[in-house]
Structure 1
Amino acid sequence: MQETMQFEMKLQTAKADLSLRREIWVLLVWLLLVQKGEAQQPFASPAQTSPSPGTATWALLHKNVGIASMHTAVTHTGQVLFLDRTDIGPSLISLANGLCRDNQRDMSSQHDCTSHSLMFNPIDNSVRPLLVITDTWCSSGQFLPNGTLMQTGGYNDGVQRVRWLTPCGSDGSCDWVESSTDLLQAGRWYASNQLLPDGRMFVLGGQYSPTYEFIPSNGLGIFTLPLLESKNYFNWYPFIHLLPDGTLYIFADRDSLILDYNTNTIVKTFPSIPGEPRNYPCAGSSVMFALENGGTSAPEVLVCGGASIMAPGNVTAQYPASQTCGRITVWDTNPGWSMQDMPIRRNMGDMVMLPNSQILIINGAQNGAQGWDNAASNPVLNPVIYDPDSWSFQVQPASTIPRVYHSTANLLPDGRVLVAGSNCHIHYTFVGEFPTELRVEAFQPAYMDPIHDSIKPLFVSNPITISYGAPFDVQVSIPGPVQGMVGLTLTSSPFTTHSYSQGQRQVKLAISPPMQLSSNVYSISTKGPLNANVAPPSWYMLHALHQQIPSYGVWVQVQ
């Protein structure tokens, strides 16, 4: 005990000494600037203007949820939807109340009393099994304006299916609903979805389907997209980003275009991104950076990672994965790719938009490509965080669990990132280098370090619904003195699968300076996103940020 106290005293002395040195250094810098005529007022110390970096950590949430989540989505009721394929044979969690799944077209188990989908509660880490009938292998999805998840396609008997799940709370009994009459017009396996401003679903691509369609179709048929026709193999799970003018940015392999889906015309094409193919089975990922000032900024797209064109099907070679990211401002007159190297080469990485608008790149492997068994090797255990403003990467602490093929990562309202899945095998296999992974963990970015508690905002009041362009106020409490502005971001909840989060987007709201209401409560005036092109009607996570430290998010419905 005495040795511990002595150590703590030495530690505090060292911290105080470091703080003093920092203050002296800041003062010397300021004096130098004054002498040069470049400073009009004293420097604020770094400890005052920005928080200490803190430490990112990992936490194991569940040792065995029973399924490997190939598809993951966070619902506005607080539950997380896990979904695997159905034709893998029995999982490790039984359906409740004696339910069984009987499907004569299933390729593995026509009578199966285990679950292949479940609801996970990130508050108490409990699970509730769900019943899904048709095969959801490599399917697609996204949330509708009312918060219902629309899930489309798959394999075998699921290739044209449309499924719905209307979320409920932890004490509810919501489950999958499948229709035998509402079907996709084309079979879609490895497709991508995008919610449109009018609430329709845009469904694009898939193996052997270089086309797109709408749900509901309203009498419209299917439309061919030449970009997908020309790619043949490296166009599965194409990247789609809804732009603030209502058109769609679509990326496949190494090429991209802007599609006006209302007139079914290609508005613009872009130069090929340098480097490797970026879509399945080479598995890069993509995000559109946060739209600024309520959605008035020019959209910029980031594409990172991928695999050698020779990697798929060439297991022996284990070609190195891509180490590059490219970003492009799609409304530039002559747009081009600005390329950067990541600290770690990576394929099968998931990209997650954090509440502070930085990008987490997590999961994946450094060699090979997507595929069964030994298609990839050398797992990437360290996430990295990319700061779009400074164009910089920061390597994060490593997980102990490899997350390769069929793994997912999703933002939770509290700021954690839920990490699940990883299965390189046709059936559940618990031997070998990459066994089927049933553990669920959370990556906790440095902004969650308790060192930031004195500046972390907390919502005191907030709206439940937000209307486009309409003003509203929020109130936040901040324990310590407020420095600078208090930001507000809206972040969607995407459908994450195969290294791409379908429907992921973020909007930074225009804000007023905080108005102090009491000793530590402040009011911030803002207004909703510009229109439905900027933020399609749906449920979003609203976060307040103070010195880039986010609050616990609250769910709001934008309409």
Structure 2
Amino acid sequence: MGHKLLSWFILASIFIVAYVDAQWSVTGMTGVTSMHAMMVTPTTIIIIDKAENNPAAVLPDGTTTWAAEYNLVTNKFRPLKLSTNTFCSAGAFFGNGTFLSTAGGEPSKVVTASDGYRGIRYFQPCQDGACQIIETPSLLSSARWYNAMVTTPTGDILNLGGSVQSTGANSANKNNPTFEIHSANGNNKASPIQFLVDTLPYNLYPFVHVIPNGLWQGYYFIFANKASVIYDITKNVAVKALPEAPGGIRSYPCTGVATLLPLDYLDNYNPQFLVCGGQSNFNQFTNPAENTCARTNLGSPNPTWEADDFGGIPRVMPDVVHLADGYNVLFLNGASVGQAGYITGGGTLLASKPALTPVLYSMNKPLGKRWTQLTASTIPRMYHSVASLIPDGSVWVSGSNPNENYNTGGPFPTEFRVEIFTPPYLSGNARPQITAFKNQTSLNVSPIQVAYNEAVPVTYTLTGTPGTITATIAQPGFHTHSQAMSMRLVHLQITNIASSGQNTFTANIYMPPNSFILPPGPHYVFILNNGTPCAKAVWVLIG
């Protein structure tokens, strides 16, 4: 039966790893600007720009488009046809794995694109190059621009907020303080939410998360401007308002970034929320960005805020990525001066001084010791940049276009280059290779169906002496405008680890216990050796 190594999964979360520095490499071109991006299969990322001229993204009919599918294996892009303007829109997965894109902007003056404010678009992911975006004749309940979306515990999608037309800071006459639910049965009518009135004028792209456990389980945590609330969407009532967060404005156009930190069964999936960066003053384009963060424990009956710096680097328009180990969170991209928005017609820079240096946030370390600065990139990633975890544990980085249209000149030209950022944890130890999952050896061809609390048998290979073996499950999220919609990472219990031959091991991995902790849909399971992730995560569909 082999020697069981049960102690591996209960050791402390801080691993001793011989870190080397991080690395950057340019691997491909996106064809369209990465204003919005989401990994939709283990090998493909859907990229959605606003309606503009992307000269390399040529469709079979000879016209250009503003959406593409990027292939992580070939590092090539496939143009995808769109007819509505997807400017500053949102996206999420249904529980069945279908991707939904909604909202957008006005008819384009540059290319042929109709009004997208009430647009609804579906995409059924594939890996054979055949899938296309389907734009439906049905419309949202009302116009939305800079809205937020998140997968719900039922597998539906919550669509929240925005404005009814494009704007800088929001205003009462443009505000859309409502939410609606998308489900397999159609779309509900809009319901009002007072919080999005109270947080004017900085409430666009509100941050929203399902609270996974504890006193507030199943409620939603919503953050905008400096304010936040625990909210019961079912009854449409605020349950609890939190104190104002310390630091500057965190919402567009003073854009900061936020995340629900990775969840761990060892502390009963206690939810903690972190918000960082932004700007203290609107329309002060030479003002330094915020070098501040604030963290709150949503497992508390009376959550308060803990103030921190932002790794020593002021940053507006940053992006956030959960790394696969579940203890480190990566922040990158953006600028150290100014705010979000386009370079004006007169050439005024709204943001400058690119923040090229990523910072690593080690969430379990004491305050004052959580930040590590990593190797800098050489490519500015300004307004309309994104980053995402991918199945090999590295980070896909693309985008940057603070110009009103495609522009090869100026201080920050339209950027199509893709970079892969290799974090230090990929160089520390031997990497496991998953060879069988739930008795299936054909992996990542289609998602393997798993159930909540299911003990899934796995087989993996690992050379050398094994270290601490752990497991996580991740949804990399929909990334746009410093948002990481539906991004979530959960530690998984791994038991009955046993040797079954030379460098080969078996184990059971337990899926999360319920859909509050991890909403249904497509996710990726990692096995890690001393915090170093496996060569390729396994694609699963839970729920």
TM-score above 0.5, yes or no: yes
- Find the partner of 2:133 among 176, 186, 189: 176
- Report the Cα distance in structure 1 between the residues aligned to 2:267 and 2:98, rounded to whole angstroms: 25
- Find the partner of 2:401 among 415, 423, 441: 423
- Report the Cα distance in structure 2 between the residues aligned to 1:199 and 1:513, rounded to whole angstroms: 31
1:261 matched to 2:229: no
1:548 counterpart letter in structure 2? G
For residues 376-398 of structure 1, the C-alpha deviation after alignment (integer angstroms, 9 at most, x for no partner) is 11110010110001141111101
What is the aligned residue count? 486
- Report the Cα distance in structure 2 between the residues aligned to 1:501 and 1:196, rounded to whole angstroms: 15
2:275 counterpart letter in structure 1? V
Change (3 A) 1:456 1:523: same
SS in 1 for 2:41: coil
For residues 140-169 of structure 1, the C-alpha deviation after alignment (integer angstroms, 9 at most, x for no partner) is 111122222100001121001100111111
- 1:66: Cα distance to partner? 2.6
- 1:537: Cα distance to partner? 1.1
- 1:422: Cα distance to partner? 0.5
- Find the partner of 1:409 among 387, 394, 398: 387
Structure-1 residue corresponding to 2:420: 442
- 1:50: Cα distance to partner? 2.5
Structure-2 residue corresponding to 1:372: 342
Structure-2 residue corresponding to 1:503: 486
1:114 matched to 2:64: yes
- Report the Cα distance in structure 1 between the residues aligned to 2:289 and 2:279, rounded to whole angstroms: 5
For residues 36-82 of structure 1, the C-alpha deviation after alignment (integer angstroms, 9 at most, x for no partner) is xxxxxxxxxxxxx72310221001012x4332110011112521111
- 1:524: Cα distance to partner? 2.1
2:241 counterpart letter in structure 1? T
Structure-2 residue corresponding to 1:51: 17
State TM-score, norm by structure 1.
0.84
1:153 matched to 2:103: yes
Structure-1 residue corresponding to 2:40: 75
- 1:286: Cα distance to partner? 0.8
- Report the Cα distance in structure 1 between the residues aligned to 2:82 and 2:182, rounded to whole angstroms: 20
Change (3 A) 1:390 1:77: closer
For residues 174-215 of structure 1, the C-alpha deviation after alignment (integer angstroms, 9 at most, x for no partner) is 1110111x2110111000001111121100000220111111
- Find the partner of 1:320 among 278, 288, 291: 288
Structure-2 residue corresponding to 1:240: 208
Structure-2 residue corresponding to 1:190: 146
- Find the partner of 2:56 among 86, 93, 96: 93
SS in 2 for 1:378: strand
1:211 counterpart letter in structure 2? T
- 1:127: Cα distance to partner? 1.1
CA contact (8 A) 2:269 2:517 kept: no
Change (3 A) 1:94 1:423: closer
Larger radius of gyration: 1
- Report the Cα distance in structure 1 between the residues aligned to 2:88 and 2:247, rounded to whole angstroms: 26
1:494 matched to 2:477: yes
- Report the Cα distance in structure 2 between the residues aligned to 1:354 and 1:420, rounded to whole angstroms: 17
- Report the Cα distance in structure 2 between the residues aligned to 1:331 and 1:83, rounded to whole angstroms: 36
Sequence identity (%):
33
1:189 counterpart letter in structure 2? W
CA contact (8 A) 1:294 1:529 kept: no
- Report the Cα distance in structure 1 between the residues aligned to 2:321 and 2:267, rounded to whole angstroms: 19
Task: Indicate the structure with greater helix content.
Answer: 1
CA contact (8 A) 2:322 2:476 kept: no
CA contact (8 A) 2:470 2:528 kept: yes
- 1:218: Cα distance to partner? 6.0
1:214 counterpart letter in structure 2? I
Change (3 A) 1:94 1:221: closer
CA contact (8 A) 1:77 1:168 kept: no
Structure-2 residue corresponding to 1:21: none
- Report the Cα distance in structure 1 between the residues aligned to 2:293 and 2:504, rounded to whole angstroms: 41
SS in 2 for 1:229: helix
- Report the Cα distance in structure 2 between the residues aligned to 1:325 and 1:474, rounded to whole angstroms: 39
- Find the partner of 2:431 among 431, 445, 456: 456
RMSD of aligned residue pairs (Cα, Å): 1.7
- Report the Cα distance in structure 2 between the residues aligned to 1:94 and 1:407, rounded to whole angstroms: 18
Change (3 A) 1:294 1:200: farther
Change (3 A) 1:219 1:347: closer
- Report the Cα distance in structure 2 between the residues aligned to 1:483 and 1:400, rounded to whole angstroms: 35
1:125 matched to 2:75: yes
Query: Which structure 1 residue ranges, 5 or more long, are not aligned?
Result: 1-48, 100-112
Query: Which structure 2 residue ranges, 5 or more long, are not aligned?
Result: 1-14, 107-114, 164-174, 344-348, 439-447
For residues 211-260 of structure 1, the C-alpha deviation after alignment (integer angstroms, 9 at most, x for no partner) is 11111376743222211101222100000111112211000101101111
CA contact (8 A) 1:295 1:508 kept: no
CA contact (8 A) 2:180 2:187 kept: no
Structure-1 residue corresponding to 2:410: 432
State TM-score, norm by structure 2.
0.87
1:523 matched to 2:488: no
Structure-1 residue corresponding to 2:346: none
SS in 1 for 2:25: strand
1:359 matched to 2:337: no
- Report the Cα distance in structure 1 between the residues aligned to 2:69 and 2:31, rounded to whole angstroms: 11
Structure-1 residue corresponding to 2:247: 275
Instruction: Considering Cα pairs closer than 8 Å and 6+ residues apart, tell me whether 1 or 2 has the greater RCO.
Output: 2
- Report the Cα distance in structure 2 between the residues aligned to 1:152 and 1:195, rounded to whole angstroms: 13
Give 4+ residue runs of structure 1 displaced > 4 Å after superposition.
217-220
- Report the Cα distance in structure 2 between the residues aligned to 1:241 and 1:281, rounded to whole angstroms: 21
- Report the Cα distance in structure 2 between the residues aligned to 1:190 and 1:137, rounded to whole angstroms: 9
Change (3 A) 1:238 1:125: same
